[in-house]
């Protein structure tokens, strides 16, 4: 382990050297600088594992150099030595993590080595998480591009197949036996289903890549649009919908509209099937820096063992003949809410209705430089 000590007091430098030698012997090598500019030269020359800095050493004019060190060597952790003196330098004001503060008058070899090891392990963990995050984001972008390309390229041959099936149906309907007519109808229905599924994959892949910047939107207005789009279904089923006064949030208007509309449409669909008049409430509560919205219904409910499955694309719990749909809507909702920095979940029991919760940050979240 190689440690860089930034300390102006030669006596304290020797004390730190003795502490490290006492605990680790030759396993730990100490470099020191009595000034911040001098420490930058050492960092450029030696492979340093951690920086031990006395908070009384930096001058006010050293801010730019410390920022340079932070940016040039982001993987090297800082451990601060303090007397809690009013004249000590505030590293936190520069965005330098100083969660490890050691009292000089209580310091010994064991405390010092433990602090250095913990700081290095913590920094390594943060670095690994950052690397994994970057790799995951890259992988997701590649997957989105792949999904878009495949879905887009499949549409043209599928149009040709659909066209020939329709041609067969028009030209030979009734000319062959009943089985042949039935087979042609099945082919046509399968082609239409495939077209819907391909379109769904395209829309799913575009949630992040073909999106609008976040802006302040009124969720009451979004809900009003959603109810207007669902007016026919609401009137046909006699659905009763109530709602809280909803807040304004920073969001993509059309994407959030899709979430509200999809959740309410599902509530209507799965409530009317059990011969109930659908009763739906849209509510909201403020929790831990988020608005937690919910859509509650009196429908058929969902067994808890399916809670994760329903948010996966093309996963259905019911036959097409029971409930129309392709198992896309909730997967879309999940992806949209995650893009907004929130999460989505369900609480439900079989035959006892369902409550879908989703969260949106209260404050503006800048996304992709927006």
Instruction: Give mean pLDDT, residues 63-83.
Output: 87
Model pLDDT, residue 126: 79
Instruction: Give mean pLDDT, residues 120-137.
Output: 80
Tokens 């006892």 belong to residue: 352
272 close to 237: Cβ distance less than 8 angstroms: yes
291 phi and psi angles, rounded to 5 deg: -95, 125
Average pLDDT of the residues of the chain: 82
6 close to 36: Cβ distance less than 8 angstroms: yes
The SS3 assignment for 125 reads: helix
* Structure-token pair, residue 344: 């989505």
Q: Does the model's pTM come out above 0.75?
A: no
- DSSP character for 308? T
Q: Give the span between the Cα atoms of 83 and 187, in whole angstroms.
A: 80
Of 14, 15, 20, the residue nearest 1 (C-alpha): 20
Tokens 């309907």 belong to residue: 173
Q: Give the span between the Cα atoms of 48 and 46, in whole angstroms.
A: 6
Burial zone of 54 (CB within 10 Å; 0-12 exposed, 13-18 middle, 19+ buried): buried
- DSSP character for 370? -
Higher pLDDT, 193 or 179: 179
Point out which residues pair with 6 in neighbouring strands.
Answer: 33, 53
**What CA dihedral angle connects 168, 173, 177 and 180, to 10 degrees?**
40
Model pLDDT, residue 56: 85
Instruction: Give mean pLDDT, residues 335-346.
Output: 91
270 close to 231: Cβ distance less than 8 angstroms: no
Burial zone of 245 (CB within 10 Å; 0-12 exposed, 13-18 middle, 19+ buried): exposed
Task: Inform me whether the pLDDT recorded for 324 exceeds 60.
Answer: no
Point out which residues pair with 30 in neighbouring strands.
Answer: 3
Higher pLDDT, 366 or 281: 281
Instruction: Give mean pLDDT, residues 305-328.
Output: 62
Kindly report the length of the chain. 370
Confidence of residue 342 (pLDDT cuts 50, 70, 90): very high
Instruction: Give mean pLDDT, residues 222-245.
Output: 93
257 close to 320: Cβ distance less than 8 angstroms: no
Task: Inform me whether the pLDDT recorded for 370 exceeds 60.
Answer: no
248 close to 218: Cβ distance less than 8 angstroms: yes
């Amino acid at each position: 382990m190689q440690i860089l000590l930034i300390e102006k007091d030669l006596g304290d430098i020797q004390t730190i050297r003795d502490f490290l030698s006492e605990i680790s012997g030759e396993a730990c090598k100490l470099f020191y600088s009595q000034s911040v500019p001098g420490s930058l030269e050492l960092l450029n020359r030696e492979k340093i594992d951690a920086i031990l800095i006395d908070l009384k050493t930096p001058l006010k004019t050293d801010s730019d150099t410390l920022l340079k060190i932070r940016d040039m060597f982001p993987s090297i952790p800082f451990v601060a030595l303090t007397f809690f003196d009013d004249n000590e330098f505030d590293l936190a004001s520069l965005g330098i993590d100083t969660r490890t503060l050691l009292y000089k008058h209580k310091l010994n070899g064991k405390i010092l080595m433990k602090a250095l090891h913990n700081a290095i392990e913590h920094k390594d963990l943060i670095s690994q998480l950052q690397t994994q995050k970057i790799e995951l984001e890259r992988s997701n972008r590649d997957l989105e591009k792949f999904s878009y390309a495949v879905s887009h390229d499949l549409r043209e041959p599928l149009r040709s197949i659909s066209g020939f099936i329709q041609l067969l149906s028009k030209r030979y309907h009734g000319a062959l036996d009943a089985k042949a007519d039935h087979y042609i109808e099945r082919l046509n229905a399968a082609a239409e289903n495939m077209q819907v599924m391909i379109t769904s994959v395209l829309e799913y892949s575009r949630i992040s890549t073909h999106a609008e910047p976040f802006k302040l939107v009124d969720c009451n207005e979004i809900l009003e649009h959603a109810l207007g789009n669902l007016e026919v279904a609401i009137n046909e089923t006699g659905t009763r919908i109530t709602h809280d006064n909803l807040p304004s949030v920073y969001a993509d208007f059309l994407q959030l509209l899709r979430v509200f509309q999809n959740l309410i449409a599902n509530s209507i669909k799965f409530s009317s099937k059990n011969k109930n008049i659908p009763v739906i409430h849209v509510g909201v509560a403020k929790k831990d820096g988020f608005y937690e919205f919910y859509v509650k219904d009196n429908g058929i409910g969902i067994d808890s063992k399916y809670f994760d499955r329903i948010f996966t694309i093309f996963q259905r719990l019911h036959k097409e003949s029971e409930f129309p749909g392709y198992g896309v809507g909730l997967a879309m909702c999940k992806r949209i809410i995650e893009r907004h920095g929130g999460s989505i979940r369900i609480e439900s029991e079989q035959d006892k209705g369902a409550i879908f919760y989703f969260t949106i940050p209260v404050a503006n979240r800048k996304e992709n430089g927006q």
